[in-house]
């Protein structure tokens, strides 16, 4: 131990004795309160929860003392788990793709706007975040709901349809809710890449004979991939783990992995089963977000090349 701090790794200890906190030391000190807060109130409870997945609990008591992987094995061999997991994944992917499609034009318009319009658009984008997601989800029930929902009553009054459309309690309702609620998390990173872009590159493409559309797909879009990757990570993680929207807009029978965690822990009080799914949800979410970022980094490898 003494050897290690002394002679071997010369840089860090020497820097410290001179009173230079170094690039990491200085920022770590100022992060201590936040880290302590997170550690005590997030990491430790999360650790407890995840540890339940390896134990058998009945009526609030740990039954067998030895940790086991049995619960994981049972869950992973259960077809129903895979159906639910696949739905969670699918909802997350579709929401993310739709968010990119809807957010891009908004971010684009923002980047082309001048003067007083910019803060207005920005406020409109951020404003939904000021209300609770639960309230907004309920609002969607009012809009999408049965015979007297806004959409159905309008379409029926216009005589376009005879019977109310079934939107609420379907995949479509869940996706609509996910996209609307998570859209700002895609728009904001896209705004940051599109607004700061060098327009001369697009002009260069035009001068080389490309049309505006070709220029968009060959220059503007590839250069905005860092923003798309950042937004996609956020939106996927949020959609994949959201349990309020599938619960309220999907109807009672619409189950996702996140919703199962909630039901096992809060409703059924089977903490082991809940913890198993929470662990799997967390790990798979990390894995997919990591994959999105790896793909983004691979695609934008020219950024690394410049350093």
Partner 1 sequence: MHIEIDRVSKNFGRQTVLSDCSVAIPKGDVLSLLGPSGCGKTTLLRAIAGFNTPDRGSIRIGGQDVTDLPPNQRKVGFVFQHYALFPHLDVRRNVSYGLDIRGVGADQIRTRTDRMLDLVGMSTFAGRYPGQLSGGQQQRVAIARALVLEPEVLLLDEPFNALDAQLRGTMQIELRKLVKRLEMTAIFVTHDQHEALTLSDTLAVMNGGRIEQSGSPLALYDKPQTGFVAGFIGTANMVNRTVEDGVIHIGAVRLSATGSKARAVIRPENIEITPGAASDDWRGKVTFVRPLGPIVEYQLEAGEAAPVTVIALRRAGDDLLLPGDDVTLSVRDPAACTVLAVGDQA
Q: Which residues make up the interface to partner 1 (CB under 8 A)?
A: 198, 200-201, 203-211, 214, 218-219, 222-223, 300, 302-303, 305-307
Question: What is the closest distance, in whole angstroms, from the C-beta atom of residue 114 to partner 1 in the complex?
Answer: 11
d(CA 69, CA 260): 19
Specify the residue, 26 or 222, whose C-beta has the smaller distance to partner 1: 222
Question: What is the closest distance, in whole angstroms, from the C-beta atom of residue 121 to partner 1 in the complex?
Answer: 22
Residues 6+ apart with CB under 8 A from 141: 149, 168, 248, 249
Q: Could you give the 3-state DSSP secondary structure of residue 9?
A: coil
Question: What is the closest distance, in whole angstroms, from the C-beta atom of residue 265 to partner 1 in the complex?
Answer: 46
What does 56-69 look like in DSSP terms, one character per residue?
-EETTEE--SS--S
Question: What is the closest distance, in whole angstroms, from the C-beta atom of residue 207 to partner 1 in the complex?
Answer: 4
d(CA 303, CA 230): 15
CB 202 within 8 A of CB 215: yes
Question: What is the closest distance, in whole angstroms, from the C-beta atom of residue 306 to partner 1 in the complex?
Answer: 2
CB 231 within 8 A of CB 190: yes
Q: Which token pair is 296?
A: 């983004």
Specify the residue, 15 or 206, whose C-beta has the smaller distance to partner 1: 206
Mode of pairing for the β-strands spanning 61-62 and 57-58: antiparallel
DSSP 8-class letter at 268: S
Specify the residue, 14 or 218, whose C-beta has the smaller distance to partner 1: 218
Specify the residue, 122 or 206, whose C-beta has the smaller distance to partner 1: 206
CB 88 within 8 A of CB 257: yes
CB 192 within 8 A of CB 229: no
Question: What is the closest distance, in whole angstroms, from the C-beta atom of residue 122 to partner 1 in the complex?
Answer: 24
Q: Which token pair is 7?
A: 């002679």
Specify the residue, 39 or 222, whose C-beta has the smaller distance to partner 1: 222
Specify the residue, 141 or 223, whose C-beta has the smaller distance to partner 1: 223
d(CA 275, CA 268): 12
Backbone torsion region of residue 168, taken as left when φ is above 0, otherwise alpha when ψ lies between -120 and 50, otherwise beta: beta
Specify the residue, 201 or 294, whose C-beta has the smaller distance to partner 1: 201
The sign of the dihedral angle between the CA atoms of 66, 67, 71, 74 is negative
CB 300 within 8 A of CB 96: no
Question: What is the closest distance, in whole angstroms, from the C-beta atom of residue 200 to partner 1 in the complex?
Answer: 4
Specify the residue, 95 or 205, whose C-beta has the smaller distance to partner 1: 205
Question: What is the closest distance, in whole angstroms, from the C-beta atom of residue 93 to partner 1 in the complex?
Answer: 25
């Amino acid at each position: 131990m003494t050897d290690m701090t002394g002679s071997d790794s010369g840089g860090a200890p020497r820097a410290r004795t001179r009173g230079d906190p170094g690039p990491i030391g200085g920022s770590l000190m100022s992060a201590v309160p936040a880290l302590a807060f997170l550690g005590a109130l997030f990491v430790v409870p999360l650790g407890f929860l995840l540890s339940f997945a390896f134990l058998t609990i009945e009526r609030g008591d740990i039954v067998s003392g030895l940790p086991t992987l049995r619960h994981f094995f049972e869950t992973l061999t259960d077809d129903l788990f895979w159906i639910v997991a696949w739905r969670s994944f699918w909802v997350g992917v579709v929401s993310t793709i739709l968010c990119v499609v809807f957010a891009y034009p908004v971010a684009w318009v923002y980047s082309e706007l001048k003067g007083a319009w910019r803060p207005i658009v920005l406020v409109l984008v951020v404003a939904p975040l000021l209300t609770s997601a639960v309230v907004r989800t309920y609002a969607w029930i009012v809009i999408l709901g049965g015979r007297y929902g806004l959409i159905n009553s309008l379409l029926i009054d216009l005589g376009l349809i005879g019977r109310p459309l079934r939107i609420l309690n379907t995949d479509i309702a869940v996706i609509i809710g996910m996209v609307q609620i998570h859209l700002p998390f895609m728009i904001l990173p896209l705004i940051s890449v599109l607004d700061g872009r060098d327009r001369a590159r697009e002009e260069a493409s035009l001068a080389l004979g490309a049309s505006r559309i070709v220029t968009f797909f060959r220059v503007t879009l590839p250069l905005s991939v860092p923003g798309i990757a950042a937004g996609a990570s956020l939106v996927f993680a949020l959609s994949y783990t959201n349990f309020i929207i599938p619960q309220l807009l999907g109807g009672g029978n619409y189950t996702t992995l996140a919703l199962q965690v909630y039901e096992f822990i809060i409703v059924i009080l089977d903490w082991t089963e809940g913890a198993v799914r929470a662990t799997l949800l967390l790990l798979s979410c990390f894995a997919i977000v990591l994959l999105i970022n790896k793909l983004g980094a691979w695609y934008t490898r020219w950024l690394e090349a410049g350093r």
